[in-house]
Chain A
Amino acid sequence: IAGITQAPTSQILAAGRRMTLRCTQDMRHNAMYWYRQDLGLGLRLIHYSNTAGTTGKGEVPDGYSVSRANTDDFPLTLASAVPSQTSVYFCASSEKAGGPPDTQYFGPGTRLTVL
Chain B
Amino acid sequence: GQNIDQPTEMTATEGAIVQINCTYQTSGFNGLFWYQQHAGEAPTFLSYNVLDGLEEKGRFSSFLSRSKGYSYLLLKELQMKDSASYLCAVRDSNYQLIWGAGTKLIIKP
List A residues at the B interface (Cβ < 8 Å). Answer: 40-45, 48, 58-59, 90, 100-109
Contact = CB atoms under 8 A, between A and B. Distances in A.
Measured as residues with beta carbon below 8 angstroms from the partner, the interface class of chain B is 20 to 34
Nearest to B101: A42
A100 B48 contact: yes
B90 to A, nearest CB: 10
B50 A100 contact: yes
Given A103-B33, A103-B48, A42 B4 contact: yes
Nearest to A105: B45
Interface string B82-102: 000001010000011111111
Interface string B52-72: 000000000000000000000
B48 A104 contact: no
**Looking at chain A's contact residues, is the secondary structure mostly helix, strand, loop, or mixed?**
loop
Most buried by A among B33, B41, B43, B98: B43
Most buried by A among B97, B99, B101: B97
B6 to A, nearest CB: 9
Contacts of B102: 42
B43 A90 contact: yes
A108 B31 contact: no
B44 interface: yes
B43 A41 contact: no
B41 A42 contact: no
B35 to A, nearest CB: 8
A78 B12 CA distance: 41
Contacts of A42: 4, 87, 89, 98-102
Nearest to A106: B42
